[in-house]
Amino acid sequence: MALKYRHNLSMPGEESTLGLSIFMAVQLYTSTGGSLPRAIRNNATHVALWRTKNMKELKLISEEMAGEVSPEKFIEVYDIIMTGPSPHTMMFVDIFKKPNHPSMFRKEYT
């Protein structure tokens, strides 16, 4: 469903890729079971990240975003966003940034 249906269900007169939007909430980006399969991760258009202590996983996320931003820049922005007192800070990544947004990165949707 996550891979196929984003290309289905178009409205009459609309382009064929309107499809279905799917939001997934997961605690683990990767694991031996129960995480996001690579095919789904590679087709994501937006990613929301909260603080993690797993630097290996954060490095993998930054490398998988390398088609849009360098892993070094990703980690730099992550560190800037996560600096702050709130334990609930979130980094939102718009992989296909809109022309009216100055950056693909946002803190708390701002």
Give 39-46's long-range contacts (Cβ < 8 A, gap of 24+).
39/3, 40/2, 40/3, 43/2, 43/3, 43/6, 44/95, 45/94, 45/95, 45/96, 46/92, 46/93, 46/94, 46/95
- The C-alpha atoms of residue 103 and residue 56 are separated, in whole angstroms, by 25
Q: What is the pLDDT of residue 37?
A: 82
Q: What is the pLDDT of residue 90?
A: 93
- The C-alpha atoms of residue 31 and residue 106 are separated, in whole angstroms, by 26
pLDDT tens for each residue of 16-55: 555 567 788 888 888 767 678 888 888 888 899 999 989 9
pLDDT tens for each residue of 54-74: 999 999 999 998 888 999 999
| Domain edges within the chain | 23-107
Instruction: Please give the distance of CA 54 from its chain centroid, rounded to a whole number.
Output: 17
Phi/psi at 79 (nearest 5 deg)?
Answer: -65, -40
| 47 touches 69 (CB < 8 A) | no
pLDDT tens for each residue of 13-25: 655 555 567 788 8
